[in-house]
Amino acid sequence: MTDVQNQQTKCPLTISSYTLGTEVSFPERVRIAAERGFDGIGLRAENYWDALSDGLNDEDMLRILDVHGIKVTEVEYITQWGRAEDRTEAQQDKERTVFHMAKLFGVKHVNCGLLEIIPEDEIVVALRELCERAGDIIIGLEFMPYSGVPDLATAWRVCEASGCWNAQLICDTWHWARAEQTAADIAPVPADRIVSIQLCDVREAPYIKLRDESLHDRLAPGEGYGDTVGFAKILRDHGVKPCVMGVEVISDAFVATGLEYAANKVYAATKKVLDEAWPELSPERD
């Protein structure tokens, strides 16, 4: 493979926001991710607002990123966009903030999900309107088994029906496993409509309340029962070329042990998975 071809196939390995918890400052988040070898960090609107409250401005954040040689490569999270009554002033402010963050940090897509369970035809209309508000930013729709978009088939149907080029998809190992998705489920989905991938793993037995498990008790990639290697191989074999390879291990236990521990743990586990399943996207550092 030539250097040019290698550059084309690489995508930034990104430590998603929740992997380092909600209490870490922006400078610490950047430092920890960079020292471990990640190419980018994920940032939620709440993390950005916290940085502003700490006295940082946009230029300060860009400078801190530059000092550490790292980028914001994942911006999230838009919710409550399905119905007019859900689009409160707070939600609209968050949406505007997420779009601002994407433009500020040069991120081409933003993550979104729909927790409310509403008729599919209403989701299509709402997604179209969201994509129109996003302009040239891609809306990465994430299916979640406890949400109004519970599986990949539903996610692709609403994206396709919206008629919007920027209605695209995110595939996350945890949601894939808990929604019991297989290679057959991805067959109808064009590979170029999957903008981002998030790696993690799941415990053997699901929680009764799946969302509680999703937000508190995920495992490092390849260290559980979700077959993260198989998941990655399915996406690779399908021809997916993600803009971002995110590592989203939301784990209270990891964060409580220490943020350096969390970063090191998930980096090593992710490298092991990618070395086997998707070597051209595996990080070069050990």
Q: Which of 62, 44, 63, 12 is nearest to 113 (CA)?
A: 44
Read out DSSP for 143-190? Answer: --TTSSS-SHHHHHHHHHHHT-TTEEEEEEHHHHHHTT--HHHHTTS-
Mean pLDDT of 165-194: 97
Residue length of the chain: 286
| pLDDT for 285 beyond 80 | no
pLDDT value of residue 284? 78
Residues 6+ apart with CB under 8 A from 71: 12, 39, 40, 41, 65, 105, 106
Domains in the chain: ranges and CATH: 9-281 (3.20.20.150)
pLDDT in tens, 29-88: 999 999 999 999 999 999 999 999 999 999 999 999 999 999 999 999 999 999 999 999
Q: What are phi and psi of 96, to 5 degrees?
A: -60, -40
Mean pLDDT score across all residues of the chain: 95
Task: Supply the DSSP symbol for 44.
Answer: E
Q: Give the C-alpha separation, 221 to 266, whole Å.
A: 7
Residues 6+ apart with CB under 8 A from 126: 81, 82, 83, 114
Q: Which of 253, 245, 252, 236 is nearest to 271 (CA)?
A: 245
pTM to 2 decimals?
0.93
